[in-house]
Amino acid sequence: MDNEAFWDNRAYLRNNARKLNDPVILDFKIWINSFKKPVSILDVGCGNGILSQTICKHNDYTGIDISKKNISLATEIFYEERFKWISGDYLYYDFKMLKYDILVFSYSIFCMDKIASVLGKSRLLLKNEGHLVLYTAVDDPEFRRTFYFPQFYGYKALFSAICTTDIIGLLKEHQFNITSINVLKTKKTHIMRIIANPISR
Ligand SMILES: C[S@@+](CC[C@H](N)C(=O)[O-])C[C@H]1O[C@@H](n2cnc3c(N)ncnc32)[C@H](O)[C@@H]1O
């Protein structure tokens, strides 16, 4: 099964999609609304597009997802003329010369095969003053393990993980500075938020 079919079949749809009161959504909403000037946001692996609901009117929002089902659901539920939705694989989609102020991966980078290439592409897609925001679950009490890869995720085996220090190393290798690492503790889980900025060339 290829990745697109996998995510279509996984039906990340109505019932298990993130809701407005989800801690990730609330956290992102506060953070994104702290920007005084208008920003452009690319939501990578946007699922049903719920993050679009946190964005003020003066900001641009684009959601991309490999699953056509997710994108048609997003367009159906959250249609607004100012939103742009892309159905495609982030790694291979041609954004032409576009650059964004903010790239957000909410529980999605660990679903992608080639994390190093994803970070390399993200560096190129971000403006020099831009921000990369990664949300993921952390599964051990000291927050050492985080990103799951799809070859271990769901359809091939159950769980494996990459150490937080490895993801930080990869970010540095791809010309990012780590600005902050926060852990949001909820009743059910711990959520890690990493914010990184491109190192200017
Ligand atoms: C766990 S879901 C998270 C969805 C949403 N961001 C959220 O926080 O609820 C991961 C999403 O990443 C998408 N995805 C996986 N690989 C992708 C790729 N290569 N390009 C774009 N989207 C991808 C999946 O279709 C899925 O919607």
For ligand 1, the distance from its centroid to the CA atom of residue 201, given in whole angstroms, is: 30
Pocket probe mutation, ligand 1, options 2, 3, 7, max atoms within 8 Å of Cβ: 7
Nearest alpha carbon, ligand 1 atom 5: 47
DSSP annotation of 150 reads G
CATH of residue 157: 3.40.50.150
Q: Give dist(CA 9, CA 23) in Å, integer.
A: 26
Instruction: Please report the pLDDT score of residue 200 as a whole number.
Output: 79
Asked if 64 and 35 count as a contact pair (C-beta separation under 8 A), the reply is no
CB-ligand 1 contact for 126 (6 Å cutoff): no
Instruction: Let me know: does 176 contact 195? Beta carbons within 8 Å.
Output: no
Q: What is the pLDDT of residues 13-60, one digit of tens each?
A: 555 667 888 899 999 999 999 999 999 999 999 998 999 999 988 999
Helix axis angle for 3-10 and 68-78, nearest 10°, is 50
- Contact yes or no for 42/100 (Cβ under 8 A): yes
Domain count, the chain: 1
Domain that holds residue 73: 3-198
Q: Are 180 and 128 in contact (CB under 8 A)?
A: no
Is residue 91 in contact with ligand 1, taking CB distance under 6 Å?
A: yes
Q: Is the CB of 28 under 6 A from ligand 1?
A: no
Pocket of ligand 1 contains residue 3 by CB under 6 Å: yes
Find the radius of gyration of the CA atoms of the chain.
Answer: 16
For the segment 150-180, what is each residue's pLDDT rounded down to a tens digit?
Answer: 444 444 443 446 677 788 889 999 999 999 9
pLDDT recorded at residue 1: 56
Asked if residue 46 has its Cβ within 6 Å of ligand 1, the reply is yes
Ligand 1: distance of its center to the CA of 168 in Å? 21
Closest CA to 100 of 121, 71, 74: 121
